């Protein structure tokens, strides 16, 4: 998978949102070990991620987590050849923690620091386990902050086919869960409740499905539809556990159907016969099954990473960091940089001074 003959060992650091994650990988063995500390319990009571709390917690957790990881494998900082970190997109303060620590450690060890694009890392995550589609393929990248359909021509060459015009799919799950009085993150909470729901009781709209050449998504109307439904049922004192489960199922199905239909449309429009699903929402079983079922009819191959590599992790950052390293895309001036908004089709522009606030 990696071109280098010499063994290169890398530490990956992920702090773009509410997971502090670290990983060790080398070019011979692949993934050696990884650790994820989730801040879920910190943000749960707010029904979403509070950026300031996220940054403060990354500061507390990151160095001890790196220490734990290295000790667990009998590694020393001196064994590292490079350090990769998520430089964007994500929460500015949270990204800064990873960038400062990665660049600081790399500077003191006199090794390169390698900035990584978080969504590219999600897209390459199936490679951690050797699962990969032949190129070109279509990637559905679905996370808390992004919903993208990307045509992967070759590694590093990405064409953006479609994106959400408002809420991301994960955001739709999280906001829907909040309306139903469930915890954060909303995706797993809705999926679990939906298991006891009745599929015939409610139906929510699938938005932007009629436009046959448009690969963009929209989820905010769906959230509004759920809000009115919940309000109406509450007023009539009919919002029981049973109706909540029925609503959760109808809501989950509407999100999954939209994602599957647009991916199918992307397959039809491009003629590409291979699809990967990645990002936190890619952990959703209905999405995985429904995509496989629907696209199997067209002989399209569908792959996705294991759940642990679908949601935020640093193994994908280490992997993408190694590829970047081999392409010479690294930082030896130790400039602390973050790109909170960084489009996946503009990855290379980082090396020519993008200015994205
Ligand atoms: O990729 P990710 O871990 O973090 C970001 O980069 O945003 O994605 C987090 C998102 C959250 O919105 C969460 O609700 C959603 O992924 N998610 C799920 C499931 N597991 C996580 N959504 C639906 N079903 C799941 N099983
Ligand atoms: Zn992510």
Of 323, 309, 349, 344, whose CA–CA distance to 139 is shortest? 344
Cα–Cα distance between 2 and 322 in angstroms, integer? Answer: 8
Burial of 84 by CB count in 10 Å (0-12 exposed, 13-18 middle, 19+ buried)? buried
Best probe residue, ligand 1, of 281, 289, 314 (max atoms within 8 Å of C-beta): 281
Segments making up each domain of the chain, as ranges = 9-123+310-346, 133-304
Predicted pLDDT at 350: 63
Secondary structure of the chain in HEC code, one letter for each residue: CCCCCCCCEEEEEECCCCEEEEEEEECCCEEEEEEEEECHHHHHHHCCCCHHHHHHHHHHHHHHHHHHHHHHCCCCHHHCCEEEEEEECCCHHHHHHHHHHHHHHHHHHCCCEEEEEHHHHHHHHHHHHCCCCCCCEEEEEECCCCEEEEEEEECCEEEEEEEECCCCHHHHHHHHHHHCCCCCCHHHHHHHHHCCCCCCCCCCCCCCCCCCCCCCECCHHHHHHHHHHHHHHHHCCCCCHHHHHHHHHHHHHHHHHHHHHHHHHHHHHHCCCEEEEECHHHHCHHHHHHHHHHHHCCCCEEECCCHHHHCCCCHHHHHHHHHHHHCCCCECCCCCCCCCCCCHHHHHHHHHCCCCC
Which atom belonging to ligand 1 lies closest to the Cα atom of 16?
A: 6
Burial 148-165 (b: 16+ CB within 10 A, else e): bbbbbeeeeebeebbbbe
- Pairing of the two strands 9-14 and 82-88: parallel
Is there a common fold for 9-123+310-346 and 133-304? yes
Predicted pLDDT at 224: 97
Which atom belonging to ligand 1 lies closest to the Cα atom of 173?
A: 14
If the chain, 357 residues long, is cut into consecutive pieces of 10 residues, what is the mean pLDDT of each piece? 81 97 96 97 89 98 98 97 97 98 97 95 92 85 96 91 97 96 94 95 90 93 97 94 97 98 97 95 97 96 94 97 88 87 84 45
Residue 39 CA, chain-centre distance (Å), reads 16
- Ligand 1: centre distance to CA 295 (Å): 23
- Ligand 1: centre distance to CA 169 (Å): 8
Ligand nearest to the CA of 168: 1
- Ligand 2: centre distance to CA 195 (Å): 25
- Ligand 2: centre distance to CA 275 (Å): 18
Which atom belonging to ligand 1 lies closest to the Cα atom of 177?
A: 14
- Ligand 1: centre distance to CA 32 (Å): 25
> The pTM is what?
0.92
- Ligand 2: centre distance to CA 279 (Å): 5
Predicted pLDDT at 4: 66
User: What tokens appear for 13 in the block?
Assistant: 């650091």
- Ligand 2: centre distance to CA 144 (Å): 7
Cα–Cα distance between 204 and 253 in angstroms, integer? Answer: 8
What is the CATH architecture of 9-123+310-346?
A: 2-Layer Sandwich (3.30)
Predicted pLDDT at 258: 97
User: What tokens appear for 118 in the block?
Assistant: 């978080």
Cα–Cα distance between 329 and 315 in angstroms, integer? Answer: 18
Which atom belonging to ligand 1 lies closest to the Cα atom of 312?
A: 3
Burial of 357 by CB count in 10 Å (0-12 exposed, 13-18 middle, 19+ buried)? exposed
Nearest protein CA to atom 19 of ligand 1, as residue: 187
Nearest protein CA to atom 3 of ligand 1, as residue: 311
Q: What's the CATH code, domain 133-304?
A: 3.30.420.40
| 182 contacts 193 by C-beta, under 8 angstroms | yes
Ligand nearest to the CA of 142: 1
Best probe residue, ligand 1, of 141, 144, 286 (max atoms within 8 Å of C-beta): 144
Predicted pLDDT at 119: 95
- Name all residues whose Cβ lies below 6 A of ligand 1: 17, 143-145, 170, 173-174, 185-188, 191, 279-281, 283-284, 311-312
Best probe residue, ligand 1, of 173, 176, 177, 190 (max atoms within 8 Å of C-beta): 173
| 2 contacts 27 by C-beta, under 8 angstroms | yes
Answer left, alpha or beta for residue 305, where phi above 0 means left and psi between -120 and 50 means alpha: beta
């Amino acid at each position: 998978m990696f071109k280098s003959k010499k063994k290169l060992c890398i530490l990956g650091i992920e702090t773009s949102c509410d997971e502090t994650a670290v990983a060790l990988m080398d070019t011979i063995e692949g993934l050696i070990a990884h650790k994820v500390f989730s801040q879920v319990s910190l943000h749960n009571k707010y029904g979403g991620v509070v950026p300031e709390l996220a940054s403060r917690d990354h500061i507390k957790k990151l160095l001890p987590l790196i220490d734990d990881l290295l000790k667990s494998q009998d590694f020393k900082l001196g064994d590292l050849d490079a350090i990769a970190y998520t430089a964007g997109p994500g929460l500015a303060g949270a990204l800064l923690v990873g960038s400062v620590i990665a660049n600081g450690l790399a500077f003191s060890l006199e090794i390169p620091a390698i900035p990584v694009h978080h969504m590219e890392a999600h897209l390459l995550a199936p490679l951690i386990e050797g699962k990969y589609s032949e190129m070109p393929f279509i990637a559905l990248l679905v996370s808390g902050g992004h919903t993208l359909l990307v045509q992967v021509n070759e590694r590093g060459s990405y064409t953006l086919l479609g994106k959400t015009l408002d809420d991301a799919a994960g955001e739709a799950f999280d906001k829907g869960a909040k309306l139903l009085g469930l915890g954060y993150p909303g995706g797993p909470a809705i999926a679990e409740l939906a298991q006891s729901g009745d599929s015939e009781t409610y139906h929510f709209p699938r938005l932007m499905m009629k436009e046959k050449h448009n690969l963009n998504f929209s989820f905010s109307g769906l959230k509004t539809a759920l809000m009115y439904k919940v309000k109406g049922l509450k007023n009539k004192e009919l919002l029981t556990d049973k109706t909540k489960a029925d609503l959760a199922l109808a809501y989950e199905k509407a999100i999954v159907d939209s994602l599957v239909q647009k991916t199918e449309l992307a397959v039809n429009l491009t003629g590409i016969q291979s699809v990967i699903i990645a990002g936190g929402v890619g952990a959703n079983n209905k999405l995985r099954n429904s995509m496989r079922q629907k696209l199997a009819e067209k002989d399209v191959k569908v792959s996705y990473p294991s759940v642990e590599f679908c949601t935020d992790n640093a193994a994908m950052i280490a992997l993408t960091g190694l590829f970047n390293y081999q392409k010479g895309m690294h930082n030896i001036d130790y400039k602390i940089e973050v790109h909170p908004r960084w489009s996946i089709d503009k990855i290379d522009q980082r090396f020519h001074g993008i200015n994205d606030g």
